[in-house]
Amino acid sequence: MAQFSHSVGSQTYRFDSLKDVMAKASPARSGDFLAGVAALNDGERVAAQMTLADIPLKHFLEEVLIPYESDEVTRLIIDTHDREAFATVSHLTVGGFRDWLLSDAADEQSLRALAPGLTPEMAAAVSKIMRVQDLILVAQKIRVVTKFRGTLGLRGRLSTRLQPNHPTDEPAGIAASILDGLLYGNGDAMIGINPATDSIASICAMLEMLDAIIQRYEIPTQACVLTHVTTSIEAINRGVPLDLVFQSIAGTEAANASFGINLNVLQEGYEAGLSLNRGTLGQNLMYFETGQGSALSANAHFGIDQQTCETRAYAVARHFKPFLVNTVVGFIGPEYLYNGKQIIRAGLEDHFCGKLLGVPMGCDICYTNHAEADQDDMDNLLTLLGVAGINFIMGIPGSDDIMLNYQTTSFHDALYARQTLGLKPAPEFEQWLARTGIFTQADGKVHFGNNLPPAFRQALAQLG
Protein backbone atom coordinates (compact mmCIF):
# COMPACT_ATOMS: atom_id res chain seq x y z
CA MET A 1 0.00 0.00 0.00
CA ALA A 2 1.54 3.25 -1.18
CA GLN A 3 1.97 6.30 1.03
CA PHE A 4 1.72 9.82 -0.36
CA SER A 5 2.76 13.30 0.75
CA HIS A 6 2.65 16.87 -0.47
CA SER A 7 4.45 19.95 0.87
CA VAL A 8 3.04 23.46 0.91
CA GLY A 9 5.74 25.82 2.16
CA SER A 10 7.09 24.37 5.39
CA GLN A 11 4.03 22.16 5.93
CA THR A 12 4.12 18.56 4.69
CA TYR A 13 0.85 16.63 4.50
CA ARG A 14 1.06 12.84 4.59
CA PHE A 15 -1.56 10.35 3.46
CA ASP A 16 -1.48 6.69 4.42
CA SER A 17 -3.01 5.19 1.28
CA LEU A 18 -4.87 5.88 -1.96
CA LYS A 19 -8.09 5.52 0.04
CA ASP A 20 -6.89 8.26 2.41
CA VAL A 21 -5.92 10.64 -0.40
CA MET A 22 -9.26 10.10 -2.14
CA ALA A 23 -11.27 10.77 1.01
CA LYS A 24 -9.38 13.89 2.02
CA ALA A 25 -9.47 15.28 -1.54
CA SER A 26 -13.28 15.20 -1.59
CA PRO A 27 -15.14 18.50 -1.37
CA ALA A 28 -16.45 18.93 2.16
CA ARG A 29 -19.63 17.06 3.00
CA SER A 30 -21.25 15.97 6.20
CA GLY A 31 -21.17 12.22 5.50
CA ASP A 32 -17.38 12.13 5.26
CA PHE A 33 -17.08 14.04 8.54
CA LEU A 34 -19.51 11.59 10.11
CA ALA A 35 -17.36 8.70 8.87
CA GLY A 36 -14.18 10.34 10.17
CA VAL A 37 -12.45 10.28 6.76
CA ALA A 38 -12.71 13.95 5.70
CA ALA A 39 -9.84 16.43 5.56
CA LEU A 40 -9.43 18.31 8.84
CA ASN A 41 -9.35 21.69 7.10
CA ASP A 42 -9.21 23.36 3.70
CA GLY A 43 -5.41 23.26 3.68
CA GLU A 44 -5.30 19.51 4.04
CA ARG A 45 -8.06 19.14 1.43
CA VAL A 46 -6.13 21.18 -1.16
CA ALA A 47 -2.92 19.27 -0.39
CA ALA A 48 -4.79 16.00 -0.92
CA GLN A 49 -6.20 17.27 -4.22
CA MET A 50 -2.73 18.28 -5.40
CA THR A 51 -1.41 14.88 -4.33
CA LEU A 52 -4.23 13.12 -6.14
CA ALA A 53 -3.59 15.09 -9.31
CA ASP A 54 -0.06 13.64 -9.50
CA ILE A 55 -1.08 9.98 -9.08
CA PRO A 56 -0.87 7.95 -12.33
CA LEU A 57 -4.14 6.42 -13.50
CA LYS A 58 -2.33 3.07 -13.70
CA HIS A 59 -1.96 3.14 -9.92
CA PHE A 60 -5.72 2.57 -9.54
CA LEU A 61 -5.25 -0.87 -11.09
CA GLU A 62 -2.49 -1.69 -8.61
CA GLU A 63 -4.01 -0.49 -5.32
CA VAL A 64 -7.65 -1.43 -4.82
CA LEU A 65 -9.66 0.29 -2.09
CA ILE A 66 -11.32 -2.92 -0.87
CA PRO A 67 -9.40 -6.22 -1.19
CA TYR A 68 -10.18 -8.26 -4.30
CA GLU A 69 -10.62 -11.42 -2.23
CA SER A 70 -13.27 -9.98 0.09
CA ASP A 71 -15.50 -7.86 -2.15
CA GLU A 72 -17.35 -8.96 -5.28
CA VAL A 73 -17.75 -5.37 -6.51
CA THR A 74 -13.96 -5.01 -6.52
CA ARG A 75 -13.69 -8.30 -8.41
CA LEU A 76 -16.26 -7.08 -10.95
CA ILE A 77 -14.33 -3.83 -11.46
CA ILE A 78 -10.97 -5.54 -11.97
CA ASP A 79 -12.20 -8.54 -13.96
CA THR A 80 -14.20 -6.47 -16.47
CA HIS A 81 -11.62 -3.71 -16.95
CA ASP A 82 -10.85 -3.20 -20.65
CA ARG A 83 -7.11 -2.53 -20.93
CA GLU A 84 -7.32 -1.87 -24.66
CA ALA A 85 -9.86 0.91 -24.11
CA PHE A 86 -7.75 2.24 -21.21
CA ALA A 87 -4.66 2.54 -23.44
CA THR A 88 -5.78 5.97 -24.68
CA VAL A 89 -5.23 7.55 -21.26
CA SER A 90 -3.04 4.96 -19.50
CA HIS A 91 0.01 7.24 -19.58
CA LEU A 92 -1.78 10.09 -17.77
CA THR A 93 -1.95 11.18 -14.16
CA VAL A 94 -5.28 12.15 -12.62
CA GLY A 95 -4.46 15.81 -13.32
CA GLY A 96 -3.42 15.03 -16.87
CA PHE A 97 -6.65 13.08 -17.32
CA ARG A 98 -8.64 16.16 -16.25
CA ASP A 99 -6.81 18.27 -18.83
CA TRP A 100 -7.49 15.66 -21.52
CA LEU A 101 -11.20 15.48 -20.64
CA LEU A 102 -11.50 19.25 -21.03
CA SER A 103 -9.69 19.21 -24.39
CA ASP A 104 -11.23 18.88 -27.85
CA ALA A 105 -9.62 15.43 -28.13
CA ALA A 106 -12.20 14.15 -25.66
CA ASP A 107 -15.25 14.21 -27.92
CA GLU A 108 -18.42 12.12 -27.84
CA GLN A 109 -16.91 9.27 -29.84
CA SER A 110 -13.64 9.03 -27.91
CA LEU A 111 -15.38 9.23 -24.55
CA ARG A 112 -17.76 6.43 -25.51
CA ALA A 113 -14.83 4.25 -26.53
CA LEU A 114 -12.96 5.06 -23.31
CA ALA A 115 -15.75 4.15 -20.86
CA PRO A 116 -14.98 0.39 -20.54
CA GLY A 117 -11.34 1.27 -19.80
CA LEU A 118 -12.15 3.39 -16.75
CA THR A 119 -12.65 2.12 -13.22
CA PRO A 120 -15.05 3.92 -10.87
CA GLU A 121 -12.11 5.02 -8.72
CA MET A 122 -10.50 6.77 -11.69
CA ALA A 123 -13.75 8.61 -12.44
CA ALA A 124 -14.24 9.57 -8.79
CA ALA A 125 -10.63 10.75 -8.48
CA VAL A 126 -10.76 13.11 -11.45
CA SER A 127 -14.13 14.52 -10.34
CA LYS A 128 -12.57 15.55 -7.02
CA ILE A 129 -10.19 17.99 -8.74
CA MET A 130 -12.80 19.46 -11.10
CA ARG A 131 -14.80 22.65 -10.75
CA VAL A 132 -18.55 22.67 -11.27
CA GLN A 133 -18.13 24.02 -14.81
CA ASP A 134 -15.66 21.20 -15.58
CA LEU A 135 -18.17 18.57 -14.45
CA ILE A 136 -20.82 20.14 -16.68
CA LEU A 137 -18.60 20.66 -19.72
CA VAL A 138 -17.38 17.08 -19.86
CA ALA A 139 -20.73 15.48 -19.00
CA GLN A 140 -22.52 17.31 -21.80
CA LYS A 141 -20.11 15.83 -24.33
CA ILE A 142 -21.20 12.31 -23.35
CA ARG A 143 -24.36 10.64 -24.57
CA VAL A 144 -25.42 7.25 -23.21
CA VAL A 145 -28.41 6.13 -25.28
CA THR A 146 -30.72 3.30 -24.15
CA LYS A 147 -33.86 1.76 -25.62
CA PHE A 148 -36.90 -0.17 -24.46
CA ARG A 149 -40.17 1.24 -25.86
CA GLY A 150 -38.62 4.68 -26.18
CA THR A 151 -35.16 6.06 -26.87
CA LEU A 152 -33.50 7.92 -23.98
CA GLY A 153 -30.30 9.96 -23.80
CA LEU A 154 -30.21 11.56 -27.24
CA ARG A 155 -28.71 15.02 -27.55
CA GLY A 156 -31.32 17.75 -27.25
CA ARG A 157 -33.69 15.55 -25.22
CA LEU A 158 -34.74 15.59 -21.55
CA SER A 159 -36.96 12.81 -20.25
CA THR A 160 -38.92 12.43 -17.03
CA ARG A 161 -39.98 9.64 -14.73
CA LEU A 162 -43.64 10.19 -13.90
CA GLN A 163 -43.83 9.25 -10.20
CA PRO A 164 -47.50 8.91 -9.14
CA ASN A 165 -46.91 7.69 -5.58
CA HIS A 166 -49.80 7.37 -3.14
CA PRO A 167 -49.59 6.76 0.64
CA THR A 168 -52.03 3.82 0.46
CA ASP A 169 -51.41 2.69 -3.15
CA GLU A 170 -54.99 3.74 -3.91
CA PRO A 171 -55.61 3.14 -7.66
CA ALA A 172 -57.75 6.24 -8.24
CA GLY A 173 -55.14 8.49 -6.63
CA ILE A 174 -52.36 6.94 -8.69
CA ALA A 175 -54.43 7.28 -11.87
CA ALA A 176 -55.14 10.94 -11.16
CA SER A 177 -51.42 11.65 -10.81
CA ILE A 178 -50.69 9.77 -14.05
CA LEU A 179 -53.31 11.84 -15.86
CA ASP A 180 -51.84 15.05 -14.44
CA GLY A 181 -48.32 14.09 -15.47
CA LEU A 182 -49.24 13.06 -19.00
CA LEU A 183 -51.02 16.36 -19.55
CA TYR A 184 -47.75 18.14 -18.67
CA GLY A 185 -45.81 15.98 -21.14
CA ASN A 186 -44.19 13.87 -18.42
CA GLY A 187 -43.57 10.12 -18.39
CA ASP A 188 -41.32 9.34 -21.35
CA ALA A 189 -38.57 7.80 -19.18
CA MET A 190 -41.16 5.67 -17.43
CA ILE A 191 -44.19 5.66 -15.19
CA GLY A 192 -42.74 4.40 -11.92
CA ILE A 193 -44.47 3.84 -8.59
CA ASN A 194 -42.77 3.53 -5.19
CA PRO A 195 -45.22 1.14 -3.48
CA ALA A 196 -46.38 1.81 0.07
CA THR A 197 -46.44 -1.94 0.70
CA ASP A 198 -44.28 -4.72 -0.70
CA SER A 199 -47.04 -7.34 -0.75
CA ILE A 200 -46.87 -9.40 -3.92
CA ALA A 201 -50.64 -9.06 -4.50
CA SER A 202 -50.48 -5.26 -4.36
CA ILE A 203 -47.36 -5.15 -6.56
CA CYS A 204 -48.99 -7.34 -9.19
CA ALA A 205 -52.18 -5.26 -9.16
CA MET A 206 -50.23 -2.05 -9.77
CA LEU A 207 -48.23 -3.65 -12.59
CA GLU A 208 -51.46 -4.82 -14.22
CA MET A 209 -52.97 -1.34 -13.92
CA LEU A 210 -49.91 0.40 -15.40
CA ASP A 211 -49.75 -2.04 -18.28
CA ALA A 212 -53.47 -1.54 -19.00
CA ILE A 213 -53.03 2.25 -19.17
CA ILE A 214 -49.98 2.05 -21.43
CA GLN A 215 -51.62 -0.47 -23.77
CA ARG A 216 -55.01 1.21 -23.90
CA TYR A 217 -53.67 4.62 -24.84
CA GLU A 218 -50.71 3.27 -26.83
CA ILE A 219 -48.19 5.30 -24.83
CA PRO A 220 -44.60 4.64 -25.96
CA THR A 221 -43.23 4.37 -22.45
CA GLN A 222 -42.43 1.72 -19.86
CA ALA A 223 -43.72 0.95 -16.38
CA CYS A 224 -42.00 0.02 -13.15
CA VAL A 225 -43.05 -0.71 -9.59
CA LEU A 226 -40.01 -0.08 -7.40
CA THR A 227 -40.12 -3.28 -5.40
CA HIS A 228 -37.26 -5.59 -4.41
CA VAL A 229 -35.74 -7.48 -7.33
CA THR A 230 -36.81 -10.82 -5.84
CA THR A 231 -40.43 -9.59 -5.77
CA SER A 232 -40.14 -8.60 -9.42
CA ILE A 233 -38.85 -12.10 -10.21
CA GLU A 234 -41.85 -13.59 -8.41
CA ALA A 235 -44.22 -11.30 -10.37
CA ILE A 236 -42.61 -12.42 -13.63
CA ASN A 237 -42.98 -16.06 -12.58
CA ARG A 238 -46.70 -15.39 -12.02
CA GLY A 239 -47.05 -14.07 -15.58
CA VAL A 240 -47.60 -10.43 -14.59
CA PRO A 241 -46.71 -7.86 -17.30
CA LEU A 242 -43.51 -6.20 -16.04
CA ASP A 243 -41.34 -3.85 -18.10
CA LEU A 244 -38.40 -2.65 -15.99
CA VAL A 245 -36.76 -4.59 -13.16
CA PHE A 246 -35.85 -2.29 -10.24
CA GLN A 247 -33.30 -2.48 -7.46
CA SER A 248 -31.42 -0.10 -5.17
CA ILE A 249 -27.69 -0.79 -5.36
CA ALA A 250 -24.51 0.38 -3.65
CA GLY A 251 -20.76 0.26 -4.20
CA THR A 252 -19.63 -2.50 -1.83
CA GLU A 253 -20.62 -6.12 -1.42
CA ALA A 254 -21.55 -5.53 2.22
CA ALA A 255 -23.76 -2.53 1.40
CA ASN A 256 -25.54 -4.55 -1.28
CA ALA A 257 -26.01 -7.34 1.23
CA SER A 258 -27.84 -4.84 3.44
CA PHE A 259 -30.30 -4.45 0.53
CA GLY A 260 -30.66 -8.23 0.39
CA ILE A 261 -28.89 -8.59 -2.95
CA ASN A 262 -25.68 -9.67 -4.62
CA LEU A 263 -24.52 -9.82 -8.23
CA ASN A 264 -26.05 -13.26 -8.74
CA VAL A 265 -29.48 -12.05 -7.60
CA LEU A 266 -29.24 -9.06 -9.96
CA GLN A 267 -28.28 -11.41 -12.80
CA GLU A 268 -31.32 -13.54 -12.05
CA GLY A 269 -33.55 -10.45 -12.18
CA TYR A 270 -31.96 -9.29 -15.42
CA GLU A 271 -32.48 -12.67 -17.09
CA ALA A 272 -36.08 -12.85 -15.84
CA GLY A 273 -36.79 -9.45 -17.36
CA LEU A 274 -35.18 -10.45 -20.67
CA SER A 275 -37.34 -13.59 -20.79
CA LEU A 276 -40.48 -11.46 -21.21
CA ASN A 277 -39.13 -9.74 -24.34
CA ARG A 278 -41.39 -6.71 -23.78
CA GLY A 279 -39.15 -4.06 -25.28
CA THR A 280 -40.10 -2.96 -28.79
CA LEU A 281 -36.98 -0.90 -29.61
CA GLY A 282 -34.40 -2.51 -27.32
CA GLN A 283 -33.85 -4.65 -24.25
CA ASN A 284 -32.27 -2.22 -21.74
CA LEU A 285 -34.59 -3.11 -18.88
CA MET A 286 -32.88 -2.65 -15.51
CA TYR A 287 -33.67 0.40 -13.39
CA PHE A 288 -31.20 1.13 -10.57
CA GLU A 289 -31.28 3.76 -7.84
CA THR A 290 -28.27 4.92 -5.86
CA GLY A 291 -27.30 7.73 -3.49
CA GLN A 292 -24.23 9.09 -1.75
CA GLY A 293 -24.22 7.87 1.84
CA SER A 294 -25.93 4.50 1.36
CA ALA A 295 -22.79 2.47 2.13
CA LEU A 296 -22.01 4.62 5.18
CA SER A 297 -25.57 4.32 6.49
CA ALA A 298 -25.16 0.52 6.32
CA ASN A 299 -21.74 0.72 8.04
CA ALA A 300 -20.33 -0.89 4.89
CA HIS A 301 -18.04 1.81 3.51
CA PHE A 302 -14.67 0.40 4.70
CA GLY A 303 -13.23 3.89 5.25
CA ILE A 304 -13.93 4.96 1.68
CA ASP A 305 -15.43 8.41 1.13
CA GLN A 306 -19.10 8.41 0.18
CA GLN A 307 -18.67 9.80 -3.34
CA THR A 308 -16.19 7.08 -4.29
CA CYS A 309 -18.52 4.43 -2.82
CA GLU A 310 -21.31 5.90 -4.91
CA THR A 311 -19.26 5.76 -8.09
CA ARG A 312 -18.41 2.10 -7.45
CA ALA A 313 -22.17 1.42 -7.60
CA TYR A 314 -22.09 2.54 -11.23
CA ALA A 315 -19.80 -0.40 -12.05
CA VAL A 316 -22.53 -2.68 -10.73
CA ALA A 317 -25.13 -0.85 -12.80
CA ARG A 318 -23.00 -0.82 -15.97
CA HIS A 319 -22.65 -4.59 -15.89
CA PHE A 320 -26.40 -5.09 -16.45
CA LYS A 321 -26.89 -2.68 -19.38
CA PRO A 322 -29.58 -0.62 -17.58
CA PHE A 323 -32.27 1.50 -19.17
CA LEU A 324 -32.01 4.07 -16.38
CA VAL A 325 -29.80 4.79 -13.37
CA ASN A 326 -31.03 7.35 -10.86
CA THR A 327 -28.98 9.05 -8.16
CA VAL A 328 -31.54 10.05 -5.51
CA VAL A 329 -29.15 12.76 -4.50
CA GLY A 330 -30.60 14.44 -1.42
CA PHE A 331 -32.93 11.72 -0.18
CA ILE A 332 -30.78 10.00 2.45
CA GLY A 333 -30.61 13.18 4.52
CA PRO A 334 -28.40 15.97 5.91
CA GLU A 335 -26.23 13.50 7.81
CA TYR A 336 -24.65 12.77 4.42
CA LEU A 337 -25.31 15.93 2.35
CA TYR A 338 -25.97 18.75 4.77
CA ASN A 339 -27.17 21.65 2.63
CA GLY A 340 -28.04 22.84 -0.85
CA LYS A 341 -24.42 23.47 -1.77
CA GLN A 342 -23.40 19.90 -0.93
CA ILE A 343 -26.45 18.44 -2.70
CA ILE A 344 -25.76 20.44 -5.87
CA ARG A 345 -22.11 19.40 -6.00
CA ALA A 346 -23.00 15.75 -5.34
CA GLY A 347 -25.61 15.68 -8.08
CA LEU A 348 -23.16 17.05 -10.64
CA GLU A 349 -20.43 14.62 -9.51
CA ASP A 350 -22.76 11.63 -9.76
CA HIS A 351 -23.97 12.58 -13.22
CA PHE A 352 -20.42 13.23 -14.47
CA CYS A 353 -18.99 9.99 -13.06
CA GLY A 354 -21.89 7.86 -14.28
CA LYS A 355 -21.76 9.24 -17.80
CA LEU A 356 -17.96 8.88 -17.90
CA LEU A 357 -18.37 5.19 -17.05
CA GLY A 358 -20.99 4.72 -19.77
CA VAL A 359 -24.04 4.66 -17.50
CA PRO A 360 -27.39 6.32 -18.50
CA MET A 361 -27.64 8.76 -15.60
CA GLY A 362 -30.66 10.57 -14.29
CA CYS A 363 -31.14 12.41 -11.02
CA ASP A 364 -33.89 12.74 -8.46
CA ILE A 365 -33.19 16.40 -7.68
CA CYS A 366 -34.42 16.33 -4.12
CA TYR A 367 -34.01 17.08 -0.43
CA THR A 368 -35.61 16.08 2.84
CA ASN A 369 -37.36 18.66 4.98
CA HIS A 370 -34.71 18.57 7.72
CA ALA A 371 -31.87 19.47 5.30
CA GLU A 372 -30.57 23.02 4.96
CA ALA A 373 -31.92 23.27 1.43
CA ASP A 374 -34.95 24.63 -0.38
CA GLN A 375 -36.61 24.66 -3.79
CA ASP A 376 -34.29 27.41 -5.04
CA ASP A 377 -31.40 24.98 -4.59
CA MET A 378 -33.32 22.38 -6.58
CA ASP A 379 -33.99 24.91 -9.37
CA ASN A 380 -30.26 25.57 -9.52
CA LEU A 381 -29.37 21.89 -9.72
CA LEU A 382 -32.12 21.22 -12.26
CA THR A 383 -30.79 23.96 -14.52
CA LEU A 384 -27.17 22.84 -14.17
CA LEU A 385 -28.02 19.20 -14.88
CA GLY A 386 -30.12 20.23 -17.86
CA VAL A 387 -27.11 22.04 -19.30
CA ALA A 388 -24.94 19.00 -18.48
CA GLY A 389 -27.18 16.74 -20.58
CA ILE A 390 -28.88 14.62 -17.95
CA ASN A 391 -30.95 11.75 -19.35
CA PHE A 392 -33.98 12.18 -17.09
CA ILE A 393 -35.39 13.83 -13.98
CA MET A 394 -38.41 13.19 -11.74
CA GLY A 395 -41.91 14.48 -12.28
CA ILE A 396 -44.11 14.51 -9.16
CA PRO A 397 -47.35 16.43 -8.47
CA GLY A 398 -46.45 19.77 -6.91
CA SER A 399 -42.84 18.71 -6.17
CA ASP A 400 -44.05 17.03 -2.96
CA ASP A 401 -44.04 13.25 -2.71
CA ILE A 402 -46.85 12.56 -0.25
CA MET A 403 -45.84 8.91 0.21
CA LEU A 404 -42.05 9.22 0.64
CA ASN A 405 -42.26 12.64 2.35
CA TYR A 406 -39.54 14.50 0.50
CA GLN A 407 -39.29 17.42 -1.92
CA THR A 408 -38.28 16.90 -5.54
CA THR A 409 -39.11 18.24 -9.02
CA SER A 410 -42.62 18.73 -10.32
CA PHE A 411 -44.32 18.15 -13.66
CA HIS A 412 -43.99 21.80 -14.59
CA ASP A 413 -40.28 21.85 -13.69
CA ALA A 414 -39.68 19.63 -16.74
CA LEU A 415 -41.56 22.16 -18.88
CA TYR A 416 -39.33 24.93 -17.53
CA ALA A 417 -36.14 23.03 -18.30
CA ARG A 418 -37.27 21.99 -21.77
CA GLN A 419 -38.44 25.46 -22.72
CA THR A 420 -35.44 27.31 -21.26
CA LEU A 421 -32.79 24.97 -22.64
CA GLY A 422 -34.47 24.06 -25.92
CA LEU A 423 -34.93 20.39 -25.02
CA LYS A 424 -37.59 17.89 -26.09
CA PRO A 425 -39.01 14.62 -24.74
CA ALA A 426 -37.90 11.26 -26.14
CA PRO A 427 -38.75 11.20 -29.87
CA GLU A 428 -41.35 8.43 -29.70
CA PHE A 429 -43.10 10.11 -26.76
CA GLU A 430 -42.93 13.50 -28.48
CA GLN A 431 -44.78 12.01 -31.46
CA TRP A 432 -47.40 10.51 -29.14
CA LEU A 433 -47.90 13.87 -27.43
CA ALA A 434 -48.47 15.42 -30.86
CA ARG A 435 -50.93 12.71 -31.95
CA THR A 436 -53.01 13.15 -28.80
CA GLY A 437 -53.02 16.95 -29.02
CA ILE A 438 -51.17 17.50 -25.74
CA PHE A 439 -48.33 18.98 -27.80
CA THR A 440 -48.69 20.43 -31.27
CA GLN A 441 -46.18 19.69 -34.00
CA ALA A 442 -45.94 23.38 -34.87
CA ASP A 443 -44.87 24.81 -31.52
CA GLY A 444 -44.02 21.83 -29.30
CA LYS A 445 -45.91 23.46 -26.43
CA VAL A 446 -48.26 21.90 -23.92
CA HIS A 447 -51.97 22.54 -24.32
CA PHE A 448 -54.49 21.95 -21.56
CA GLY A 449 -58.21 21.52 -21.13
CA ASN A 450 -60.35 22.53 -24.07
CA ASN A 451 -57.34 22.67 -26.37
CA LEU A 452 -57.26 18.86 -26.32
CA PRO A 453 -59.37 16.86 -28.78
CA PRO A 454 -62.69 16.02 -27.03
CA ALA A 455 -62.34 12.27 -27.53
CA PHE A 456 -58.94 12.22 -25.88
CA ARG A 457 -60.09 14.43 -23.01
CA GLN A 458 -62.92 11.99 -22.33
CA ALA A 459 -60.60 8.98 -22.49
CA LEU A 460 -58.09 10.50 -20.10
CA ALA A 461 -60.87 11.53 -17.73
CA GLN A 462 -61.78 7.85 -17.34
CA LEU A 463 -58.38 7.23 -15.71
CA GLY A 464 -59.62 9.09 -12.65
Three-class secondary structure of residue 401 per DSSP:
strand
CA triplet 417, 207, 286: central angle to 5 degrees? Answer: 60
Among 312, 319, 320, which residue's Cα sits nearest to residue 294?
A: 312
> What's the residue count for the chain?
464
**Over the range 5-16, which residues count as b (16 or more CB within 10 Å of their CB) and which as e?**
ebeeeeeebebe
The answer to whether 364 is a known ligand-binding residue is yes
The answer to whether 403 is a known ligand-binding residue is yes
Q: Given the DSSP bridges, would you call strands 223-225 and 190-193 parallel, antiparallel or unpaired?
A: parallel
The answer to whether 11 is a known ligand-binding residue is no
Residue type for position 383: T
The answer to whether 162 is a known ligand-binding residue is yes
How far, in Å, CA of 184 to CA of 376, rounded?
Answer: 21
Taking residue 68's Cβ as centre, other Cβ atoms within 10 Å add up to 12
The answer to whether 306 is a known ligand-binding residue is no
The answer to whether 247 is a known ligand-binding residue is yes
Q: For residue 31, report the phi and psi dihedrals to the nearest 5 degrees.
A: -65, -40
The answer to whether 457 is a known ligand-binding residue is no
C-alpha distances out from residue 394 to 104, 174, 187, 200, 434, Å: 32, 16, 9, 25, 22
Sign of CA dihedral 278, 261, 252, 28: positive
Q: Is 276 exposed, middle or buried (0-12, 13-18, 19+ CB in 10 A)?
A: middle
Residues placed in the known binding site for substrate:
161-163, 194, 289, 364
Residues placed in the known binding site for adenosylcob(III)alamin:
195, 247, 297, 403
Residues placed in the known binding site:
161-163, 194-195, 247, 289, 297, 364, 403
